[in-house]
Amino acid sequence: MSLDCFLSDSRGVSPAVTQALTIGITSLLVTGLLIGGSQMVDSQRERVTEEALENVGDGIARDLIRLDAFNTESLNSTVSFRATYPERIADQSYNVEVTPDASRTRVYVNASGLDRYAVVRFKNETNVCPSVVSSGPLAVSYNSTADCMEVTRG
């Protein structure tokens, strides 16, 4: 038998090439599915974070509106509503900033680590003290000394 016989023989190549192509194509498909799945999880996380920030802002605005309904001119003490909000949203702390404006009060909730925020605006009659507080249990109260509603850590 000569060596040329073995060099020109291609009978065993087809199964090996088919196997290699199958493994390569399968790897590409699985990689595509993993990348697509991780992007979906990221977008879901962003959406849940935004909704959670909106819930915190809505809750604080609701408490300020409830407090605004009181006849604060006849109060000689402090009235407050306490609410427990999560310490962290999407594993990030957040800040709540209440800013009075000429026409509306603005509640701005910001998770700076995620670059996400929510803004709630509402009309009120009682003055609002500018407030900035960090995440967690919060209190919305009427401060008779300053004659304004404020948000504090509670």
pLDDT tens, position by position, 36-50: 877 777 778 888 888
**Domain with 122 in it:** 14-153
Does the pLDDT value for residue 8 go beyond 80? no
Residue 3 lies in a domain: no
The 10s digit of each residue's pLDDT in 87-146 is 888 888 899 999 998 778 999 999 877 788 899 999 988 889 999 999 888 989 888 888
Does the pLDDT value for residue 60 go beyond 70? yes
Is the alpha carbon torsion for 61, 79, 88, 96 positive or negative?
positive
Quick one: average pLDDT of 147-153? 88
Residue 51 lies in a domain: yes
Q: What is the pTM of this model?
A: 0.72
Residue 116 lies in a domain: yes
Domains: count for the chain: 1
pLDDT of amino acid 5:
60
Sheet with 116-122, side-by-side order of all strands: 116-122, 105-111, 95-99, 131-134
Residue 9 lies in a domain: no
